[in-house]
Structure 1
Amino acid sequence: MELNLIQNIAVWALPVLFAITAHEAAHAYAAKRFGDPTAFLMGRMTFNPLKHIDPIGTVVLPLICVLLPGGFLFGYAKPVPVNFNALRNPKRDMRWVAAAGPLANLAMALLWALVLRFAMGALDGNSFQLPLALMAQAGIQINVVLMVLNLLPIPPLDGGRILVSLLPRDLARLVSQIEPYGIFILIALVLVPGLLSSIMSPFIHLVMRLVSVVL
């Protein structure tokens, strides 16, 4: 089904907003759970999207992706501040704080799968069935993509932080030095046509198969 601009925005706006908000709120919750109250004290341990919105990453970038035919949809929010030195066991706890965001996206994808199942069943023939089903499909897609993207082993992405937490200290220190250049590595992957999607696609399909169990 071909959607016009307004319909595309209506379908994708809430799923993108919820996905990014849940991701950042989960980081904040995990950080506080393991000893760092920085994000909590700054009011970032919340599902209020206004606390997490980045004008470019949360609004402009996803909108451009939706408008581009065959575009690769992703976005980001304001990163939750984490003082890793304040964690009770910085090297160990870092992995759980980092993993909290992708795990939140997996949980959101499963919730959207339940919404899709409800829409295709309980609302059969109802005028709300198609809009809700399209929104649920968008919710599944954006959460799975964000989960896989953030698990790439490139600091400062969550996968990079998890990798650093698992490596021996000397090797971890070496990998962590990549962090200032991580965003440029990611941009390079995006700019090379098809490269990022080819890296992520097998993992996206794997998680999609997991989510489809709910359907």
Structure 2
Amino acid sequence: MTTAQLRSSDRRISPVFLGIAAVTAVSGWATWTGFASFPGLAVFLFVTAAWIVSLCLHEYAHARTALHGGDISIGAKGYLTLNPLKYTHALLSVVLPVLFVIMGGIGLPGGAVFIERGRIRGRWRHSLISAAGPLTNALFAVVCTAPFWLDALDGVPDAFRYALAFLALLQVTAAILNFLPIPGLDGYGVIEPWLSHGIRRQVEPFAPFGLLAVFAVLWIPEVNHTFFDAVDAVLRGLGVNDWDTYWGQELYRFWEGTQDVPRPVSP
């Protein structure tokens, strides 16, 4: 069975994803035009919906790469339809990442598409499958920040500018966290095929707790500062300054009363 032999229903984009994409488009339009009475609400809907779209694309990248790597079971599982309800753990893939954005403004690595690794041959293919997800987040960040690094912000409404900056921050945090070589994260999946069988067996029991350990360590002030310094450095390289991301998050958290949209400042 090849990709050409997949049933059309296995590849058809799901109405669920199309609905999320529609919310992204409509709320993005409301943010751009200032149509909404409360700009923060429009920013909230736009960023949240776009974040879910990026989560779906993250999982799709894993699944599509696995399909081309030899796991022909991917199509029947519905992973190619971009439907988040088809994921192995919708709670981990969508609900928790959205809650973390709302509560803390950080891009939680989500995920779970079940890949039958036994069908895939070659260490490079295994590594690429793991890397495909966070690489998608990195590409999403580049696209979000295009107006910044292309110096094409003239005519971009301030609220939309801040929303893009905050969305980019989420993508960068998700990419960096996911690329950490820690069991349970994609970064470990990249290096795992190159480890000895004995090391993999020793590490395997810790995989369910890898993400929890990362967030526990991030509570350490020195680690937290170092992590966000790295995030800020990446964003500055993409033309986004702290002012943009700060006000993006402030508008996003509209329930805290922030509705005024300030003018941008020069980097």
Q: Same fold (TM over 0.5)?
A: yes
Q: Is the 8 A contact 1:106 1:143 kept in 2?
A: yes
Q: Give 2:69's aligned amino acid.
A: F
User: What is the Cα deviation at residue 162 of structure 1?
Assistant: 1.5
Hey, what does 2:57 align to over in structure 1?
22
Q: Give 1:120's aligned amino acid.
A: L
1:148 matches 2:176: yes
User: What is the Cα deviation at residue 79 of structure 1?
Assistant: 0.6
Structure number with greater Rg is 2
Determine the C-alpha separation between the residues in 2 that align with 1:93 and 1:55: 27
Unpaired runs of 5+ in structure 1? none
Hey, what does 1:110 align to over in structure 2?
142
Q: Given the alignment, which residue of 68, 73, 83 partners 1:33?
A: 68
Q: Is the 8 A contact 1:36 1:86 kept in 2?
A: yes
Q: Secondary structure at the match of 2:181?
A: coil
Q: Secondary structure at the match of 1:24?
A: helix
Show CA shifts across 1:56-81 (max 9, x none): 65246534543x4xx34223545111
- Could you say if the C-alpha distance between residues 20 and 87 of structure 1 is closer, same or farther in structure 2, counting changes exceeding 3 Å? same
Determine the C-alpha separation between the residues in 1 that align with 2:73 and 2:217: 32
Q: Is the 8 A contact 1:19 1:139 kept in 2?
A: no
Determine the C-alpha separation between the residues in 2 that align with 1:40 and 1:17: 21
Hey, what does 1:179 align to over in structure 2?
207
Hey, what does 2:248 align to over in structure 1?
none
Hey, what does 2:106 align to over in structure 1?
73
Unpaired runs of 5+ in structure 2? 1-37, 241-267
Q: TM-score, normalised by structure 2?
A: 0.63
Determine the C-alpha separation between the residues in 1 that align with 2:165 and 2:121: 39
Determine the C-alpha separation between the residues in 2 that align with 1:26 and 1:131: 30
Hey, what does 1:44 align to over in structure 2?
79
User: What is the Cα deviation at residue 140 of structure 1?
Assistant: 1.1
Hey, what does 1:84 align to over in structure 2?
117
1:170 matches 2:198: yes
Percentage of pairs with the same residue? 23
User: What is the Cα deviation at residue 98 of structure 1?
Assistant: 0.5
Q: Given the alignment, which residue of 197, 200, 224 partners 1:197?
A: 224
1:160 matches 2:188: yes
Determine the C-alpha separation between the residues in 2 that align with 1:205 and 1:167: 32
Hey, what does 1:211 align to over in structure 2?
238
Q: Is the 8 A contact 2:77 2:86 kept in 1?
A: no
Show CA shifts across 1:105-157 (max 9, x none): 11111111125558723x35xxxx22322232122111111100111111110
Q: TM-score, normalised by structure 1?
A: 0.76
Count of aligned pairs: 201
Hey, what does 1:54 align to over in structure 2?
90
